[in-house]
C-alpha cells in the first residue's frame, strides 16, 4: 500500500515537473519566434520562420539538461574538473555539428529562404555554403558557439539557479525549525526526570508531615508544570503562560528550601505576546542548583521580568557559595538559550552573564518582543 502511494506521488510529481518544463520551452519558442519576426535579419518565409526558432530551442535544451543535471552535479560539484571539462567539450562539439547541420538543412530545404539569405546576408550565405564541416569547425575555433549558447541558455540557467537557491533556503529554514524542536525536546527531557523525582520526594515529605493543604497545592502545581513542559510549544505560546509556568516551578522548588529567600516580580503590558517555551528554564535551574541553602548564608534568588511597549527585560540573580561559582556559567543549557534567542529574535536581543564575587546574574534584553524574527 505504501509503495503504491509512493509511486503515485512520484508519478504526479514527475508529470507536474515535465509539464512545467514543457510550458517553459513553449514560451521560450514563442519568444524566439517573435524575435525572428521583429528582427531586421530574421527570415520571414515559411517554413524557416517556424523551424529556425525550433532549432534554437531544441539545441538549447540539448545542452541545458546534460549540463545542469549531469555534468555539473556529477563532476564539477564533486571537484572532478578533468572529467567535467572533457564531457562539456564533447557536449559542445556535438551541439555545434548538430546545430550547423540543421541550420543548413532548414535553409537549403526552403529555396525561397536560401535565396533571400543570399540577397540579404551574402556573407552569412557564403559562410554556410562552404558546407557542414567548414561551418562547424569555424564555429568551434572562433568560439562563436559559446556566445550563441550564452544567449540561448541565460534564461533557463538563471531560472534553474534561482529555483535551486529558493529550494535551498526552504530546506535551511525547515532544518532550522526541526533543530529548534529537537533542542526543545532535549530540554524537556533534561527537566522532567530529575525535577519530577525531587518534587515527588518533597510532596512525600509534606504528606508525612500531614500538611494536606500544601501537598494538594504542590500536586496541582506539578501537574500544571508537567502539562506545560510536555505539551506547550509552537507559535501559540505566550509570555503569560511562561510566567505562570515559572511561578509554579519556583513554588515547587521553594518546598525544599529552608534558608533561601526567593522573589519573583513581573510586569507585562501585553501578556499575550509570543515567547519561546521553556526558554528561561536552564537559567532558573542553575539559580536553584548553585544557591546554597545553608543556615546563616543569607542566600537569595531574585527574578525580574518587565515588558513595556515591546521592550522585554529579564534578570535572574542569585547568591553563590564559596564553591565552584562559575559552574552555572556555561554548559548545554545556556548554549541552548543563546541559539534559541538568536533564532527567534536575531540581532534584537542581548544575553549577558555576570559572575561578580558572590552574585551570579543573567540578563536578557529583547527589543521588539512583539515582532520576533521567527515564530512558528
Average pLDDT over residues 179-204: 67
Q: Tell me whether residue 340 is in a domain.
A: yes
The secondary structure of residue 204, as a DSSP letter, is H
Q: What is the widest separation between alpha-carbon atoms in the chain? A: 113
Q: Tell me whether residue 375 is in a domain.
A: no
Average pLDDT over residues 179-189: 57
Q: Are 360 and 342 in contact (CB under 8 A)?
A: no
For 212-235, write each residue's pLDDT tens digit. Answer: 888 898 888 888 887 877 776 666
Q: Tell me whether residue 313 is in a domain.
A: yes
Parallel/antiparallel/unpaired status of strands 349-356 and 359-366: antiparallel
User: pLDDT averaged over the chain?
Assistant: 82
Q: Is there a single domain that holds both residue 32 and residue 137?
A: yes
Q: Is there a single domain that holds both residue 345 and residue 196?
A: yes
Q: Is there a single domain that holds both residue 234 and residue 305?
A: yes
304 forms beta bridges with 265, 315
Find the CATH number of the domain harbouring 199: 3.30.565.10
268 forms beta bridges with 307
List the grid coordinates of 311: 521592550
pLDDT of 328 above 50: no
For 135-171, write each residue's pLDDT tens digit. Answer: 888 888 888 777 778 888 888 888 888 888 887 777 6
The residue range of the domain holding 195 is 185-366
Q: Tell me whether residue 357 is in a domain.
A: yes
Rg (CA), the chain: 36
Q: Is there a single domain that holds both residue 274 and residue 356?
A: yes
Q: Is there a single domain that holds both residue 107 and residue 13?
A: yes
Q: Tell me whether residue 158 is in a domain.
A: no
pLDDT at site 366: 94
Q: Is there a single domain that holds both residue 92 and residue 199?
A: no
Q: Tell me whether residue 160 is in a domain.
A: no
Q: The whole model's pTM is what?
A: 0.53
| Whole-number Å distance between alpha carbons of 88 and 83 | 8
Q: Tell me whether residue 178 is in a domain.
A: no
- 51 Cβ neighbours under 8 A, 6+ residues apart: 106
For the chain, give the percent of residues with pLDDT over 70.
Answer: 84
Q: Is there a single domain that holds both residue 137 and residue 189?
A: no
- The number of domains in the chain is 2
pLDDT at site 317: 95
The secondary structure of residue 234, as a DSSP letter, is G
**Domain boundary, last residue among 142, 157, 176:** 142
Amino acid at each position: 500500500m505504501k509503495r503504491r502511494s509512493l509511486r503515485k506521488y512520484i508519478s504526479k510529481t514527475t508529470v507536474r515537473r515535465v509539464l512545467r518544463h514543457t510550458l517553459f520551452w513553449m514560451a521560450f519558442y514563442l519568444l524566439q519566434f517573435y524575435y525572428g519576426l521583429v528582427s531586421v535579419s530574421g527570415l520571414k518565409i515559411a517554413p524557416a520562420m517556424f523551424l529556425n526558432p525550433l532549432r534554437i530551442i531544441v539545441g538549447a535544451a540539448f545542452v541545458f539538461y546534460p549540463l545542469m543535471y549531469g555534468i555539473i552535479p556529477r563532476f564539477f560539484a564533486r571537484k572532478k574538473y578533468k572529467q567535467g571539462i572533457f564531457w562539456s567539450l564533447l557536449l559542445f562539439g556535438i551541439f555545434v555539428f548538430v546545430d550547423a547541420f540543421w541550420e543548413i538543412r532548414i535553409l537549403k530545404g526552403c529555396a525561397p529562404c536560401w535565396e533571400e539569405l543570399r540577397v540579404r546576408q551574402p556573407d552569412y550565405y557564403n559562410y554556410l555554403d562552404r558546407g557542414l564541416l567548414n561551418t562547424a569547425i569555424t564555429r568551434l575555433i572562433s568560439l562563436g558557439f559559446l556566445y550563441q549558447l550564452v544567449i540561448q541558455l541565460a534564461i533557463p540557467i538563471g531560472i534553474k539557479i534561482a529555483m535551486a537557491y529558493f529550494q535551498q533556503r526552504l530546506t535551511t529554514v525547515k532544518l532550522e525549525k526541526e533543530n529548534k524542536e529537537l533542542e526543545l525536546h532535549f530540554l524537556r527531557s533534561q527537566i522532567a526526570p530529575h525535577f519530577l523525582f525531587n518534587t515527588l520526594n518533597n510532596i512525600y515529605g509534606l504528606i508525612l508531615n500531614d500538611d494536606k493543604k500544601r501537598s494538594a497545592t504542590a500536586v496541582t502545581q506539578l501537574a500544571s508544570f508537567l502539562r506545560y513542559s510536555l505539551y506547550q510549544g509552537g507559535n501559540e505560546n505566550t509570555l503569560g503562560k511562561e510566567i505562570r509556568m515559572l511561578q509554579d516551578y519556583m513554588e515547587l522548588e521553594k518546598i525544599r528550601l529552608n534558608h533561601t529567600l526567593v522573589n519573583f516580580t513581573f510586569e507585562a503590558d501585553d501578556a499575550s505576546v509570543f515567547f519561546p517555551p521553556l526558554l528561561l528554564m536552564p537559567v532558573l535551574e542553575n539559580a536553584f542548583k548553585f544557591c546554597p541553602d545553608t543556615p546563616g548564608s543569607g542566600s537569595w534568588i531574585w527574578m525580574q521580568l518587565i515588558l513595556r511597549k515591546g521592550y522585554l527585560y529579564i534578570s535572574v540573580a542569585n547568591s553563590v557559595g564559596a564553591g565552584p561559582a562559575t559552574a552555572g556559567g556555561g554548559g548545554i543549557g545556556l548554549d541552548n538559550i543563546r541559539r534559541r534567542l538568536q533564532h527567534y529574535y536575531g540581532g534584537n536581543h542581548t544575553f549577558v552573564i555576570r559572575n561578580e564575587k558572590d552574585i551570579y546574574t543573567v540578563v536578557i534584553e529583547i527589543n521588539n518582543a512583539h515582532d520576533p524574527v521567527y515564530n512558528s
